[in-house]
Structure 1
Amino acid sequence: MASSKQTVLPFLPSSAGFTARIHPVVLFNICDCYVRRPDQAERVIGTLLGSVSPDGTVEIRNTYAVPHSEPGDQVAIDVDYHHNMYASHQKVNPKEVIVGWFSTGLGVSGRSALIHEFYSREVTNPVHLTVDTGFTDGEASIKAYISINLSLGDRQLAAQFQEIPLDFRMVEAEQVGFDILKTTMVDKLPNDLEGMEASMERLLALIDDVYKYVDGVVEGNVAPDNNNGRLISDALSSIPKMSPAVFDKVFNDKIQDNLALVYLSSLTRTQLSIAEKLNTAAQIL
């Protein structure tokens, strides 16, 4: 296990100076990976990406799942997949580096120590993030840990996971989306067409509210507000000026691009599923 210094008993190790900040997209990615996990898999694990500030604050901005299996007391990680995913991510976001790993479930276990040892070889002092997707205590418990070695003289006795402070970091747009999702319960996730339809209905409702407000101000039924006026002016000025024909062409082109992406992603998932089944069959034979 990686550690910044040796700790001698009977003094307890300290995690002072270590804090973590997490963006909402990380939690959504982890939940999505858990929903799409392979059959019979109890939990999913993956790599955390972000940055580390000089004061020891770890900012977690992104993540990806890593295939693994846990037969008995052992753990097998697809190291090649992990390295390939990280290399691909570096081409897109070179400033985001490995800062730790995540797992679903409540708390840590003995097998978590084995996985943490692997990530300790990837980065110094990795952060271990746990997300209780099973809502064991009636809520999604989210905690962050670091591992500290317990030593007696030059002899290492054990490794201890110690919890560190964890804060949520959200920009204004993320906060709005997070609040909506937090208070919304649906029977099933909407598909792309249903999501677009709901967004357009919401946009039309907002436009209708603006029309009513402006008409009320003009007729003298509503007291004018300079701040609202500036916001409406900024919104109107941000709309690109184009003819209806050009708008229709741009909109239709965007729809075609989205449909092409959906088709390609569906084709990729099918190919991966076929490759996984062939690989499983080859191992059986």
Structure 2
Amino acid sequence: MASANQTVLQFFPSPTSFSARIHPVVLFNICDCYVRRPDQAERVVGTLLGSVSPDGTVEIKNSYVVPHNESAEQVALDIDYHHNMYMSHQKVNPKEVIVGWFSTGFGVSGGSTLIHDFYSKEAQNPVHLTVDTGFRNQEASIKAYVSVNLSLGDRQLAQRFQEIPLDLRMIEAERVGLDVLKTTMVDKLPNDLEGMESSMERLHALIDDVYKYVDGVVEGRVTPDNNIGRFIADTLSSMPKISPAAFDKVFNDRIQDNLALVYLSSLTRTQLSIAEKLNTAAQVL
């Protein structure tokens, strides 16, 4: 049995309900900042803006980069720039407050504790978001952490980063953009037809997974889940009742509209290129 005056090493974990939800525009902004970083910088860091719901969910809606210099022993942030940017964002949207900070790279680095200490003064229990801009195996490693105190008796020894659940939800157009972003070597951006083809392939794969699940439940190979069954039923009931002939007509009309847009955009680019060359030739003459 431990004595009454024994010193105990203890962790003070964060609430179990603490989680984060991130909007896709934040990822696009972080990747854009990483591409535009100075040549000598290995990573970029910045501030996360958003809101905190009563249930403890942190919704990350916006971000901006903060200039910094770091070495093996110290990290220097441009605090004046950070405060000026935050004041500018507050004028546009006062509901978005500081909820944490982000950094590029795989996981937590050595100087993260120093930066987290600064943001702990800017927000209560800030979230640390890491984004692997290398996209290893064309997958984005996006993780969120909070700080956990490690204390020995009444004396705080260190901090430990604890990963929390992170929810990333996006519409189909945003998902297509993220898929392009994952491909580090891109010849050109996909047009509307290529985006539609990619969406249809993903939809076909999802329908095939639903078929396999339903067949497995009917044949007794898969344990039924009432929540999944209700979700499938709600999805089927939300689909409009339309005949195959009418669906083919609507689908073909949409394809014709996309083809017309592609043709008009190509024609416009050609006219602009010709006009630019004629203007250059007129100036030379």
TM-score normalised by structure 1 residue count: 0.62
Is contact 2:10–2:151 with CA below 8 Å preserved after alignment?
no
Aligned residue number for residue 174 of structure 2: 177
Distance 1:67 1:25, change over 3 A: same
Aligned residue number for residue 53 of structure 2: 53
**Please, what is the CA RMSD of the aligned residues?**
3.5
Aligned residue number for residue 127 of structure 1: 127
Is contact 1:100–1:127 with CA below 8 Å preserved after alignment?
yes
The 5-angstrom pairing of residues 1-285 of structure 1 reads: 9-10=9-10, 13-136=13-136, 139-170=139-170, 172=171, 175-182=172-179, 187=186, 223-224=245-246
Cα distance between partner residues in 2 of 1:189 and 1:104: 25
Greater C-alpha Rg: 2
SS at match of 1:114: helix
Superposition deviation, residue 107 in structure 1: 1.1
SS at match of 1:63: strand
Superposition deviation, residue 181 in structure 1: 4.4
Distance 1:187 1:109, change over 3 A: closer
Is contact 2:9–2:150 with CA below 8 Å preserved after alignment?
yes
Gaps of 5+ in 1: 1-7, 203-221, 233-285
Cα distance between partner residues in 2 of 1:16 and 1:82: 31
Cα distance between partner residues in 2 of 1:75 and 1:81: 15
Superposition deviation, residue 169 in structure 1: 2.7
Superposition deviation, residue 189 in structure 1: 6.7
Cα distance between partner residues in 2 of 1:183 and 1:152: 48
Superposition deviation, residue 154 in structure 1: 1.2
CA-to-aligned-CA distance 1:87-129 (integer Å, 9 cap, x gap): 1111111111110000001111231000000000100100000
Cα distance between partner residues in 2 of 1:108 and 1:67: 18
Flag the structure with more relative contact order, 1 or 2, with Cα contacts below 8 A and sequence separation at least 6: 1
Is contact 2:10–2:150 with CA below 8 Å preserved after alignment?
no
Cα distance between partner residues in 1 of 2:136 and 2:160: 23
Count of matched residue pairs: 201
Is contact 1:106–1:136 with CA below 8 Å preserved after alignment?
no
Cα distance between partner residues in 1 of 2:107 and 2:177: 28
SS at match of 1:110: coil
Distance 1:228 1:95, change over 3 A: farther
Is contact 1:15–1:162 with CA below 8 Å preserved after alignment?
no
Distance 1:189 1:59, change over 3 A: farther
Cα distance between partner residues in 2 of 1:49 and 1:22: 10
Gaps of 5+ in 2: 1-7, 195-243, 255-285
TM-score normalised by structure 2 residue count: 0.62
Is contact 2:11–2:149 with CA below 8 Å preserved after alignment?
no
SS at match of 1:90: helix
Cα distance between partner residues in 2 of 1:223 and 1:138: 39
